[in-house]
Structure 1
């Protein structure tokens, strides 16, 4: 495990060196969240005392904060760092190192996670103060939420990692990244709670791994699901982690057979 701990520390050092780029990328997520807060506040203001998707305005603020949290963790900085190794040929050097490539990239993502959590704490506090705070779960529910959030990290990493591996075939990253973010925002419920979708789209979300990124931790945080239902949703998150991680390993075996090194 020592090599992976070293990679995590090196990733954190990279964040400190390129902190301007890192903060700018995360600021983009924050700006999007501020816009969502403003839009939803206007919608709720049009119906005083009303609810949407079974959520009051106070609960919606908490939902949007969780969407901001999960959107910030494993951000586009992580996304880019995985893809660039394929595009610039650095992956060729990784092939001769006595470490697991997938675990190495996950260790680096954990290193970036430290900086992302700091940004969430700072930007999130400012955001909540500006919009009047949010309700918090009871201690037991908070513990279940943290468990769901922990399961979300390898789940989101697996999706990001798969997109990075797709660069072996596309030779380009930005289009893939934008597509992944767009699909994730829709199917995870990051922009609109899944309960407001038409039935057919709710079914797609329920059968996809994306709902485990935002909707599951948000509903647990709000206490909309409890007990056995919470454990079922967390179990679904972990099941998708296993499926995607195994799928990524199989894709890696195919991808390295067509390695093309760009640059010189």
Structure 2
């Protein structure tokens, strides 16, 4: 059974490889996007050395790493589930000898590995050649960041599973999917670091799982979180990864009892 799930990773990786040109062009698009943020923050900083503890160099590194990490953990599992519910093909998944949600998770991980090797890594090299990015010199930071990046994928995938299962209850989930994406990009710190949020909003963010996707790993990578604080950050990620399993299982159990097919 384990080998079957590993095969799912391999198959999704090979599927993504067939369309790799799209991701090569994506490197250019992300580099342009990072460049826009760089000049935006450069204008805001002006003569200031730091804003809320962020130096300009840290901010540039934060923006580059956060956007490139997004390439790894981003996936469309929610839309895939919604489409399969809409056309009725999800019914066939129920009778197959595997766990449907695990299948989606491993397929998403295969896509993530492809993005990591052929998008995130070469993309980071490109932006490092263009912008003043300060990479950590301590190998332990890179190792910790790699572990946190895996948790970022897991938490984001869990949120996608929850959103995708909304299709069992709502006939059209397009609005829900767009709202979820905006919430994740905003409250995970992709658009603006959470440290720059107003006090009440930053406090609210601490009670949400979104910061564990992007902000906490990037804070460790840029050196804002070190030592015990970095370990606490990875512990918080692990906690959210476990906690989110509960609503997923409850929602999945209820969803299996109310499936209705809209087409197919």
Q: What is the aligned partner in structure 1 of residue 10 from structure 2? A: 9
Aligned mates of 1:148, 1:141 — CA distance in 2: 10
Aligned mates of 1:20, 1:135 — CA distance in 2: 27
Aligned mates of 2:34, 2:173 — CA distance in 1: 24
Task: Please say if 1:75 is aligned against 2:74.
Answer: yes
What's the offset of the Cα at 1:137?
Answer: 4.2
Q: What is the aligned partner in structure 2 of residue 203 from structure 1? A: 203
Tell me, which stretches of 5 or more residues in structure 1 are unaligned?
Answer: none
What's the offset of the Cα at 1:173?
Answer: 3.8
What's the offset of the Cα at 1:74?
Answer: 3.2
Conserved? CA contact 1:88–1:263, under 8 Å:
yes
Q: What is the aligned partner in structure 2 of residue 256 from structure 1? A: 256
What's the offset of the Cα at 1:11?
Answer: 1.3
Q: Give TM-score scaled by structure 1 length.
A: 0.90
What's the offset of the Cα at 1:126?
Answer: 1.9
Q: 1:243 to 1:61 in 2, by over 3 A?
A: same
Q: 1:23 to 1:90 in 2, by over 3 A?
A: farther
What's the offset of the Cα at 1:41?
Answer: 2.3
Q: What is the aligned partner in structure 2 of residue 125 from structure 1? A: 125
Please, which moves more after superposition, 54-63 or 14-23? 14-23
Aligned mates of 1:59, 1:108 — CA distance in 2: 34
Q: What is the aligned partner in structure 1 of residue 184 from structure 2? A: 184
Kindly provide the CA deviation profile for residues 95-144 of structure 1, in whole angstroms up to 9, marking residues without a partner as x.
Answer: 00111122111110111012211211222222232223323241222222
Conserved? CA contact 1:137–1:222, under 8 Å:
no
Kindly provide the CA deviation profile for residues 213-256 of structure 1, in whole angstroms up to 9, marking residues without a partner as x.
Answer: 11110111122222222111111111111111221111011112
Aligned mates of 1:135, 1:246 — CA distance in 2: 37
Q: 1:170 to 1:20 in 2, by over 3 A?
A: farther
Q: 1:152 to 1:258 in 2, by over 3 A?
A: same
Q: Give TM-score scaled by structure 2 length.
A: 0.90
Q: 1:19 to 1:171 in 2, by over 3 A?
A: farther
Aligned mates of 1:219, 1:211 — CA distance in 2: 10
Aligned mates of 1:103, 1:254 — CA distance in 2: 17
Kindly provide the CA deviation profile for residues 74-93 of structure 1, in whole angstroms up to 9, marking residues without a partner as x.
Answer: 32444433432222222111
Q: How many pairs were matched up?
A: 262
What RMSD in Å do the two structures reach over aligned CA positions? 2.2
Q: What is the aligned partner in structure 1 of residue 102 from structure 2? A: 103
Q: 1:263 to 1:107 in 2, by over 3 A?
A: same
What's the offset of the Cα at 1:65?
Answer: 1.8
Q: 1:147 to 1:82 in 2, by over 3 A?
A: same
Conserved? CA contact 1:30–1:68, under 8 Å:
no
Write the mapping of 1:216-255 to structure 2, written as runs, cut at 5 A.
216-255=216-255
Aligned mates of 1:257, 1:114 — CA distance in 2: 34
